[in-house]
Structure 1
Amino acid sequence: MRYFLLLFLFASTYIAQIIDTNKIDSFINKTRERLNLQTGFSISVVVKDSIIYKKGYGYIDIDNKTNTTSETPFYIASATKSFVAALNKILMNEKVIDIDEPISTYLPDFKFQTKPLDTETISIRDLLTHKHGIVSLPAVLRTAFTGDYTKEKLFELYQNAEFTGVNFKYSNDGYVFNSLILEKVTGKTWQNLLEEKIFIPLEMNNTSSKVSDYTSLVLPKAYSTINGEIRELPFLKEDKTMHAAGGIISTAEDLSNWLIFNLGNEEFNSKKILPKSDLDEIHSAQVNCEKTFWKYNRYSYGLGWYLSDYNGETLIHHFGGYTGAKSHISFMPEYKIGIVALTNDEGDGYYLTEIAADYVYNLFTGKDADQIAEEELKIILNNQEEANSVEKEEKSKIKSDWNSELLVGEYYSEDFGQVVINENLHLKFGNLNGDLIPSDNKKFICDLKAFRLKVEFTEEDGKVIELILHGPTSLVFQKVK
């Protein structure tokens, strides 16, 4: 049995803490068995400046039994935001930008059309802390899902953005817009800047913002496990849909270097990246946000990080989720411990990242880790039956009253781009696609894998003239062909 003796300073007292890593391994294996998981899971635990535990579980390709390791690259989705926020502070430290300057300083010719949005009053800091009030669903859909955009088109869409108020409102918009500013100022893309300023100095050699840097054999397949039934999903990400609010692929080992840096280590292998004072600012409360995710009571947002309370301890974190991908990156600053947990399962394996991390944190801080884990696991087990019924919604037996030939064709929206429906009633929306399944006589459901949408058509004089996709808001497309 292996033990690590950990000495750290807390509340002016040196505490000797022993972690049995076999206990972590046993817990994860047993939990995966109880959840009937074969999908991939990768975890790394960092204390101060060292990795004390790392391991991969399950498969990134179930059919071919390709094992997961701590070096398996996973898409980390919105956890990208903490990297981009740090990048802005690095550039500020180099006097390239000032995050407290209004965006008009860097985009003097850009103007919002919707009041009270004003480039003179919105700062880069506002963009990074989600209190800018800018919302452009077309820009978010195009950058994260369809890939149907140019830089010029994004500027046009943001010129016509809506205003949502200046209180905290989490979205991708601030970070996508920030990336346009960074490219304008530096002449380099946000991807190149991240590689130059963060990935290379932190020796994150298996990390990239480009899907094309990996072969399909290396990247995990996307899955959803419901009550032991495994459904393979398409891997929807491509270079064009990797954006500054969610555009990094990395490994548990590489992300451990990122955590070591965030745990207050100004230098990484003698390379200085940011002063500790800047790191402290990044991790400090910037805006209030009374939110709860899982068991974490989020009370504030810093620069790319949530500040939360978990069982009486401060937990700083950012997670990410997308079709068949989930990332958990967190740390407890008082204890100098951080955890990376990654999976390719959006079903019953989705919250394993939290359950496993919570177990390690509770073990480390002297709480009843097994009892707390059992209570948390019951949440997943109790929800399995309901989730399973949702999965069985698949092919409806309802027959549509539509003549399918009328629905076939191309539809276009100036804001959202193009939708194509073929003769098999298969809908393609940029990088998203799925079958139209009748939900009643005149309506359909389309499972785009990233999300499900209700679909309606408008008819006039015996012809279909309009397609409407109903989600959080309605997207209207005119039939053009």
Structure 2
Amino acid sequence: MLYITQSIISNFIRKIGIIFPILCILSCKTSNVKNTNENKFTNDNLEFSQKFHEKIVDIFKEKELEGDFIFAIVGENGLLYSKAINNKIINGESSFLDNNSPIYVASHTKSFTGTLAKILEEKGKIDLNKSLSNYLPELNFKDSIDVDKIFIKNLLNHTHGTFSTTLTWKTAFLGYSGNNSELIEDFNNDFLYDPSGSFRYSNVGPIITAIAIESATGNSWKDEMKEHIFQPLEMFNTTTKVSDLHYDRIRPSVTVSKEHGVIETGFDKSDILMHASGGVISTVNDLSKWLSANIRQDNILLSQESWKELHTSNVSQDKSYFTYNRKGYSLGWDIAEYQGDTILTRFGGLAGISFHISFIPEKKIGIIAFSSDNRAYILPHLMANYAYNELNENLADSIFQIERINFEKAFDNENALVYPNKTQLLTQNETKQHIQGSYLSTSGWPPISINQEADHFIFNWGVLNGKIFKTEDGHYTSNLGLLNRDFEIKSDTLKTGSLIYIKIKQ
């Protein structure tokens, strides 16, 4: 395989009949100059730019997409091409959407956390080959698991075998006190364990790694990320804290259905829900610095040997996602194959947001893509593949048509989902029992409360809340932004899934 270095990119540009000054693009520093050079890149590569633009606009119009789509091609020296599309832009209206728009990267955070762990290991602050007992002796699973056989590396590559629903839901959805001691207590009391050492993907490993990092360094995972990754790479618009940003500038997820149109719009994460498996907000401009550092294995962050471990599979997996055949996992990247190339990916998704980041190490090229319409979660991957195939001189248009079939199927499935409508909203006149009040879990989960607003009711669970709707079976449901939750109430007992809550008597 040839490298997609400057010579290959030049060949690609010659293929479409135009040569562009790539060195200027790669050397410019200020955001204004970067924007100018990106415009010039687009203008000097009209065939690719026009085809890409036509394809994404065609999909937006045909599927009546809502929300945003952001895309970038990145080389070893930085951003090469970008595109931002939403309905306002398509219609020629002003929009805040651009390369500096804050976007949530969801589970791609795991790649950042794995890299941070390697950085701290090089600095002698943590040893990935030491066991949990060295850093978190209080995490003992009531002595039912031999924690001396679970190493920090196992946490990062998902071979630790442990899982906790309570820990996962508190950190991702419901919130908690913010104290690691609470999470460790939850884990000690609510866990599953598979001793086989097989790859089992979950949020748990990186989250426990972050707690171990705090124990070893005395600093939070969030502070360590800023000090050792964001600042060295000059990612000044990247953060692990929602409160660092103007909330209304964060690109929200959009939930849409064929029957009712836009159901929900918003970004429901808060600081307490930003964790080491899904807790980074960044921009295309900043992420291009991160991705290019991975592509060139920049010694600003790590040695070549550490980069190799980050980018090389150390555990097998046999899974497929869309067109990517995943064969292994490193300390934060899925090792996959696409069109004969080894490709490293680590995607993310939450409540409509779909985030794609990938690169082909041998060809020194990578893609960043983001969409926020829940029905179009395959779209970032579809368009990434199109760009890769154009750059690799594959039959890009033919492959695109084949892969679009899978996109269409996924879109149609999501579009057909049924959501509660206004006629199902639970109003004061329709409730047959006094459901207002506070409910406590019988097993240590965050409290639930139900209160009235105007003529309807609000379901509050941890830090999330949403309107209550009636279901056909006489029970209730609520869209909490990050998730939908069904529940029933009989007398003073509220049941949601397998969880039992008892109403507090006033």
In the TM superposition, what is the alpha-carbon distance from 1:216 to its structure 2 partner? 2.3
For residues 412 and 297 of structure 2, the distance between their equivalents in structure 1, rounded to whole angstroms, comes to 45
Cα gap change, 1:372/1:34 in structure 2, threshold over 3 Å: closer, same or farther? farther
Normalising by structure 2, report the TM-score: 0.84
For residues 123 and 377 of structure 1, the distance between their equivalents in structure 2, rounded to whole angstroms, comes to 42
**Alignment partner of 1:193 is 2:218:** no
Aligned partner letter, 2:78: S
Q: Give the fraction of aligned pairs with identical amino acids, expressed as a percent.
A: 31
Is the CA contact 1:399–1:440 (under 8 Å) kept in the aligned structure 2?
no
Is the CA contact 1:285–1:302 (under 8 Å) kept in the aligned structure 2?
yes
Match in the other structure for 1:301? 329
Aligned partner letter, 1:44: A
For residues 322 and 219 of structure 1, the distance between their equivalents in structure 2, rounded to whole angstroms, comes to 14
Task: Give the 3-state SS of the residue equivalent to 2:227 in structure 1.
Answer: helix
For residues 5 and 130 of structure 2, the distance between their equivalents in structure 1, rounded to whole angstroms, comes to 46
Match in the other structure for 1:80? 109
**Candidates 394, 398, 415, aligned match of 1:371:** 398
**Candidates 459, 473, 478, aligned match of 1:446:** 478
| Stretch deviating more after TM superposition (236-245 or 284-293) | 284-293
For residues 302 and 105 of structure 1, the distance between their equivalents in structure 2, rounded to whole angstroms, comes to 23
**Alignment partner of 1:354 is 2:386:** no
**Candidates 134, 143, 146, aligned match of 1:105:** 134
Correspondences of 1:259-408 after superposition (within 5 Å): 259-267=291-299, 272-348=300-376, 350-394=377-421, 404-408=432-436
Gaps of 5+ in 1: 9-13
| Stretch deviating more after TM superposition (322-331 or 123-132) | 322-331
Is the CA contact 2:165–2:191 (under 8 Å) kept in the aligned structure 1?
no
Question: Residues 431-471 of structure 1: CA distance to partner in whole angstroms, max 9, x if unpaired?
Answer: 222233332444223322322233123x4xxx32x22212x
Cα gap change, 1:417/1:202 in structure 2, threshold over 3 Å: closer, same or farther? same
For residues 74 and 254 of structure 1, the distance between their equivalents in structure 2, rounded to whole angstroms, comes to 11
**Alignment partner of 1:47 is 2:75:** yes
**Alignment partner of 1:7 is 2:7:** yes
Is the CA contact 1:5–1:16 (under 8 Å) kept in the aligned structure 2?
no
Aligned partner letter, 1:240: I
Match in the other structure for 2:39? none
**Candidates 201, 208, 213, aligned match of 1:170:** 201
Is the CA contact 1:242–1:248 (under 8 Å) kept in the aligned structure 2?
yes
Normalising by structure 1, report the TM-score: 0.88
Match in the other structure for 2:175? 147
Cα gap change, 1:337/1:156 in structure 2, threshold over 3 Å: closer, same or farther? same
For residues 90 and 12 of structure 2, the distance between their equivalents in structure 1, rounded to whole angstroms, comes to 38
Question: Residues 71-105 of structure 1: CA distance to partner in whole angstroms, max 9, x if unpaired?
Answer: 11101111100000000000001111110110111
Count of matched residue positions in the alignment of Structure 1 and Structure 2: 459
In the TM superposition, what is the alpha-carbon distance from 1:398 to its structure 2 partner? 11
Aligned partner letter, 2:368: V
For residues 295 and 243 of structure 1, the distance between their equivalents in structure 2, rounded to whole angstroms, comes to 29
In the TM superposition, what is the alpha-carbon distance from 1:109 to its structure 2 partner? 4.0
For residues 426 and 454 of structure 1, the distance between their equivalents in structure 2, rounded to whole angstroms, comes to 13
RMSD across aligned C-alpha pairs, in angstroms? 2.8
Cα gap change, 1:132/1:391 in structure 2, threshold over 3 Å: closer, same or farther? same
Match in the other structure for 2:280? 248
Task: Give the 3-state SS of the residue equivalent to 1:158 in structure 2.
Answer: helix
Gaps of 5+ in 2: 17-44
Task: Give the 3-state SS of the residue equivalent to 1:43 in structure 2.
Answer: strand
Aligned partner letter, 2:224: L
For residues 342 and 383 of structure 1, the distance between their equivalents in structure 2, rounded to whole angstroms, comes to 17
For residues 297 and 52 of structure 2, the distance between their equivalents in structure 1, rounded to whole angstroms, comes to 26
For residues 257 and 399 of structure 1, the distance between their equivalents in structure 2, rounded to whole angstroms, comes to 49
For residues 190 and 399 of structure 1, the distance between their equivalents in structure 2, rounded to whole angstroms, comes to 42
Task: Give the 3-state SS of the residue equivalent to 2:415 in structure 1.
Answer: helix
Is the CA contact 1:61–1:221 (under 8 Å) kept in the aligned structure 2?
no
